[in-house]
């Protein structure tokens, strides 16, 4: 039997250092007053899980619970202080709303650069370029610097590039937070397409509706710890254990749309 593990996270921890005083003057004043020079905080605390190829995971949790940090470590942007992360194949995705674009470069150049970093060759990018532009729907802004884009256009272009990479693992961190409703619909449809092609999907969202629709397993982070790992409905119940009044309101199809709109 072949090994179908796609993402392995083993006892991963990440600590951030908060530094209060940065200049020599501030530091000496703080030293005289015997204040703390720095403080560390555990953003991700001993998290372990294994994901098989083709699973679609909803990563949920309150703001500041370590979701983006975890995603950055899976993506390879950050390295854990302890533990290890292993992934298989090409990874694409969007981290923390918006792509890594260079504001001075035009949309066109950024598409090529981003695609290259995500592992696409020049020919592959050229082949998919029209699709990317059509998906992003940014029209004549394609050749102006992305610094002039609206936040929605910025996010759309980033998402369009990431989603056209033929990736084995797709990470989507609050991709739908910006962008209008038609675009959100389009994104969800495209993400479903990606999921159905067998790509491992890692989807960060606060929107229970879209998580239900997209995912077959939910991870919940609470203050950096993995608090829940299991089926979707249970996970969502777990997340809302103290918010009974909200829970009942989100069941029907129409409200799903409403809720997608509130995806922040």
Partner 1 sequence: MSAPPPRERAVRAPLRPPWSEQGLLEVFQHRYILSLLVRREIAARYQGSVLGLLWSYVNPLSQFFIYYFVMGILFGRAQRTEAFAIHVFAGLIVVHFFTETMNAGTRSIVRNKSLVQKMAVPREMFPVASMLVSLFHVGPQVVILLIATTLSGWRPDPEGMVLGVIGLLISMTLGTALALMFSAANVFLRDVQNAVNVLSNFVRFGSPMMYPYVLVAKRFHGHTTLYLLNPITEAVLDFQRAFWVGATNHPARTAAIDMPDNLFWLSIRALLISLVVLVIAQSTFSRLERRIPERLL
Residues 171, 74: contact at Cβ < 8 Å? yes
Please list, in sequence order, all residues whose beta carbon lies within 8 angstroms of the beta carbon of residue 160, skipping any fewer than 6 positions away: 132, 133, 135, 136
Q: Which residues in 49-68 contact partner 1 (CB under 8 A)?
A: 53-56
**148 near partner 1, rule: CB under 8 A:** no
Which of the stretches 59-67, 229-237, 241-249, 254-262 binds partner 1 when contact is defined by CB under 8 A?
229-237
Considering the complex, what minimum distance in angstroms separates the CB of residue 116 from partner 1? 5
Angle (CA) 100 60 153, round 5°: 30
Cα distances (angstroms) measured from residue 108 to each of 112, 121, 167, 201, 210 = 7, 15, 21, 27, 31
Q: Which helix (H) or strand (E) holds 180?
A: none
Residue numbers 178-207 binding partner 1 by CB under 8 A: 192, 195-199
Retrieve residue 101's tokens.
């674009």
212 touches partner 1 by CB under 8 A: yes
Give 73 or 220: the residue with its C-beta nearer to partner 1: 73
> Using CB under 8 A, which residues numbered 90 to 119 contact partner 1?
90-91, 95-96, 98-105, 109, 112-114, 116-118
Q: By CB under 8 A, tell whether 2 contacts partner 1.
A: yes
Which position among 29, 31, 37, 86 is part of the footprint of partner 1 (CB under 8 A)? 86
For residues 34 and 178, which CB has a smaller minimum distance to partner 1 in the complex?
178
Output the smallest distance, CB 62 to partner 1, in A.
20
Nearer to partner 1, 109 or 137 (CB): 109
Other C-beta atoms closer than 10 Å to the C-beta of 58 total 26
* Dist. CA 156–CA 180, nearest whole Å: 10
Rg (CA), the chain: 20
- If one asks whether residue 240 binds partner 1 (CB under 8 A), the answer comes out as no
Distance CA 255, CA 264 (A): 16
Of 211-219, 220-228, 237-245, 255-263: span binding partner 1 (CB under 8 A): 211-219
Closest-CA residue to 175 (of 199, 157, 159):
159
Binding mask 33-52 for partner 1 (x = CB under 8 A): --------------------
Q: How far apart are CA 74 and CA 80, in angstroms?
A: 10
Residues that bind partner 1 (CB under 8 A): 2-3, 5-6, 8, 16-17, 53-56, 72-79, 84-91, 95-96, 98-105, 109, 112-114, 116-118, 121-122, 168, 192, 195-199, 212-216, 231-233
């Amino acid at each position: 039997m072949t090994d179908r593990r796609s993402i392995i996270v083993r006892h991963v921890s990440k600590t951030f250092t908060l530094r209060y005083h940065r200049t020599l003057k501030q530091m000496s004043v703080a030293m005289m007053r015997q204040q703390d020079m720095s403080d560390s905080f555990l953003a991700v605390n001993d998290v372990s899980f294994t994901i098989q190829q083709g699973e679609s995971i909803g990563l949920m949790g309150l703001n500041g619970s370590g979701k983006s940090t975890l995603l950055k470590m899976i993506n390879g942007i950050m390295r854990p202080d302890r533990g290890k992360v292993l992934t298989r194949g090409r990874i694409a995705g969007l981290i923390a709303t918006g792509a890594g674009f260079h504001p001075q470069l035009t949309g066109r150049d950024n598409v090529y650069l981003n695609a290259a970093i995500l592992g696409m060759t020049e020919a592959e990018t050229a082949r998919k370029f029209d699709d990317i532009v059509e998906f992003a729907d940014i029209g004549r802004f394609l050749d102006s610097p992305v610094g002039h884009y609206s936040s929605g256009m910025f996010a759309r272009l980033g998402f369009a590039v990431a989603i056209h990479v033929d990736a084995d693992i797709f990470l989507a961190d609050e991709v739908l937070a910006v962008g209008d409703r038609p675009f959100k619909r389009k994104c969800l449809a495209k993400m479903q397409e990606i999921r159905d092609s067998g790509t491992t999907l890692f989807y960060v969202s606060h929107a229970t509706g879209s998580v239900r629709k997209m995912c077959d397993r939910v991870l919940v982070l609470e203050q950096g710890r993995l608090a829940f790992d299991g089926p979707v409905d249970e996970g969502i119940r777990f997340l809302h254990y103290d918010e009974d009044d909200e829970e009942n309101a989100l069941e029907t199809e129409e409200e799903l749309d409403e809720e997608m709109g509130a995806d922040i």
